[in-house]
Amino acid sequence: MASELASGQTVVGRYRLLRPLGRGGSGNVWLAQDLLRDRRAVAFKVASHTDDELTAESLRQEFRVLTQLLHPHLVRVFDSGLLPNGARYLTEEFVDGETLWSVSGRLPAQCIEPILVQLLRALDYLHKRRVIHGDIQPANLILQWSIDRDGSRHPLVTLVDFGLAHVADGTRTVTGGTHAFMAPEVRLDHRPDVLSELFGLAATMFAVVTARAPFPKQLTPPEFLLQGPPDFSDFAAAVPDAVRSCLKRMLSVSREGRYQSPREALDDLVYRSSGRISIASLDTAPSYLNGGALVGRLGLFEALKARHRAGPSRCVLVGPMGFGKSRIARELQVQAQLDGAATFRQAVAPANVPYAAAAALADQIVSQVGQGAVAEAFVETGRRRARGISSVRHSFAPSLLQALAAVDELTPRPVVIIEDIDLADEWSLNLFRDWARSGADFTLVATAQHVPASSIQCSTR
């Protein structure tokens, strides 16, 4: 069944679709506003058919891979789940720019080197995490400009579309890619790997400079293997020699002729730049400390996951700052999202306003569960409360509790994460406790630095 979506529509009570950004063969990408997150702009990617298993699986995989990554030149992912009609979606950072495809042949020559360096840094980061993107090409790279105080413009490029990505040595076998940018061995059915990624990157840069692919499209794989090096004669003269020879080497038809890793290519450029280029920049250096797979707390995560799968569970993760509580909670959230479950996450901000923390979470739940009687009662009491009607304090609690309890209607079992629950106002805390003690079918994971005096006990029903 086709998933009919239209501009102006709000989906899963949270994303207002503004306009289409791109339409692929199988999926559509929309610019949307996240109504639960200050209306921030997001890219909303969704399968165009509800029964398209392949796209659904590819979106699932894209989400799974992206949650492990954090790098200034890789798109950041936010959320994934299922529409009421069963179609999978994911949301990610909206990169407000143009694709390299749309600027091919028109970029100032001095931009080529910084773009190549940024992308080699990104590939090096992916390589160290054994992630293969699988479809590096100009339409999957978005270019933005950052402007310095002195008015000079610098290119900033972001890699999107991890729909064909996989973790090397993982179980998934991936085929596909975009012909003109595909390494010869991949056209011959070799599994994409870091060497074919380097080829794809160089083919992309070549096309960005010259507005044509480095090798004729119609070459069959055997002809390809007999090809000489691509023709660089109409390559912009202002592109530095070091960049040109780096690209030539990456475009080697034989795998042995290429650099053997993105780092090797980067080292070469750095060496030849006499100190102008560095391996990492101020913004890429921290990436090596963040992101990546969950390590060290795997046992705890597995235990939480097992409990969540077995039945509704409630848990408070208590530990000092830096213990990794949020990371474990986040990992459980990702797992639930992959399972197609709704998830809610509320970071408590310290404010001694009655019911502030509970109301913020209830807002999220009500907007997702829908417009039933609960929502109406909730909105109405919220309004009266905003007008300062004092009797509301008493009537607000039951309607809030009702709103929170509505989470029970969602299947599969939703996951609710309350971060820093110990900072919640005491009214909310009491409410959370009553809610947690109810038998409602949801998993609650709270984090705290100190156990609140009246704490929720870690328990399973």
Residue ranges in contact with ligand ADP by CB under 6 A? 21-22, 24, 27, 29, 43, 45, 75, 92-95, 99, 139-140, 142, 160-161, 163
Name the minimum Å distance from CB 137 to Mg ion: 7
Name the minimum Å distance from CB 30 to ligand ADP: 9
Name the minimum Å distance from CB 148 to ligand ADP: 24
Name the minimum Å distance from CB 24 to ligand ADP: 2
Strand partners, 131: 167
The smaller minimum CB distance to ligand ADP, of residues 52 and 92, is found at: 92
Please say whether the beta carbons of 90 and 62 come within 8 A.
yes
CA–CA distance, 324 with 309 (Å, rounded to integer): 22
- How buried is 23 (Cβ within 10 angstroms: 0-12 exposed, 13-18 middle, 19+ buried)? exposed
Name the minimum Å distance from CB 200 to Mg ion: 13
Please say whether the beta carbons of 447 and 418 come within 8 A.
yes
The smaller minimum CB distance to Mg ion, of residues 136 and 431, is found at: 136
Indicate the residue type of 222. Answer: P
The smaller minimum CB distance to Mg ion, of residues 77 and 405, is found at: 77
Among Mg ion, ligand ADP, none, what binds residue 177 when CB lies within 5 to 8 Å by partner kind?
none
Q: What string of H, E and C letters represents the secondary structure of 247-313?
A: HHHHCCCCHHHCCCCHHHHHHHHHHHCCCCCCCCCCCCHHHHCCCCCCCCCHHHHHHHHHHHHHCCE
Verify binding: residue 62, Mg ion, rule CB under 5 A.
Answer: no
**Which residue sits closest to ligand ADP, CB atoms considered?**
24
CA–CA distance, 142 with 30 (Å, rounded to integer): 15
Verify binding: residue 178, Mg ion, rule CB under 5 A.
Answer: no
Name the minimum Å distance from CB 222 to Mg ion: 28
Outline where 160-261 has alpha helix (H).
184-187, 194-210, 221-226, 241-250
Strand partners, 40: 34
The smaller minimum CB distance to ligand ADP, of residues 43 and 82, is found at: 43
Among ligand ADP, Mg ion, none, what binds residue 98 when CB lies within 5 to 8 Å by partner kind?
none
The smaller minimum CB distance to Mg ion, of residues 165 and 366, is found at: 165
CA–CA distance, 424 with 346 (Å, rounded to integer): 11
Q: What string of H, E and C letters represents the secondary structure of 322-335?
A: CCCHHHHHHHHHHH
Verify binding: residue 161, Mg ion, rule CB under 5 A.
Answer: yes
Among ligand ADP, Mg ion, none, what binds residue 43 when CB lies within 5 to 8 Å by partner kind?
ligand ADP
Name the minimum Å distance from CB 261 to ligand ADP: 25
Indicate the SS3 state at residue 90.
Answer: strand
Name the minimum Å distance from CB 22 to Mg ion: 7
Give the contacts of 295 (CB within 8 A, at least 6 positions apart). none
Name the minimum Å distance from CB 59 to Mg ion: 12
Helix (H) and strand (E) counts in the chain: 14, 16
Among ligand ADP, Mg ion, none, what binds residue 99 when CB lies within 5 to 8 Å by partner kind?
ligand ADP
Among ligand ADP, Mg ion, none, what binds residue 94 when CB lies within 5 to 8 Å by partner kind?
ligand ADP
Among ligand ADP, Mg ion, none, what binds residue 32 when CB lies within 5 to 8 Å by partner kind?
none
Verify binding: residue 140, Mg ion, rule CB under 5 A.
Answer: yes
CA–CA distance, 35 with 40 (Å, rounded to integer): 7
CA–CA distance, 20 with 351 (Å, rounded to integer): 39
Query: Any idea what DSSP says for residue 190?
Result: P
Among Mg ion, ligand ADP, none, what binds residue 29 when CB lies within 5 to 8 Å by partner kind?
ligand ADP
Size of the site for Mg ion (CB under 5 A): 2
Verify binding: residue 331, Mg ion, rule CB under 5 A.
Answer: no
The smaller minimum CB distance to ligand ADP, of residues 125 and 432, is found at: 125
- Left, alpha or beta for 161 (phi > 0: left; psi -120 to 50: alpha)? left
Verify binding: residue 79, Mg ion, rule CB under 5 A.
Answer: no
Verify binding: residue 52, Mg ion, rule CB under 5 A.
Answer: no
Among Mg ion, ligand ADP, none, what binds residue 92 when CB lies within 5 to 8 Å by partner kind?
ligand ADP
**Smallest Cα–Cα separation from 244: which of 262, 224, 268?**
268
The smaller minimum CB distance to Mg ion, of residues 80 and 140, is found at: 140
What's the distance, CA 400 to chain centroid? 32
Name the minimum Å distance from CB 29 to ligand ADP: 4
The smaller minimum CB distance to Mg ion, of residues 205 and 277, is found at: 205
Which residues bind to Mg ion, rule: CB under 5 A? 140, 161
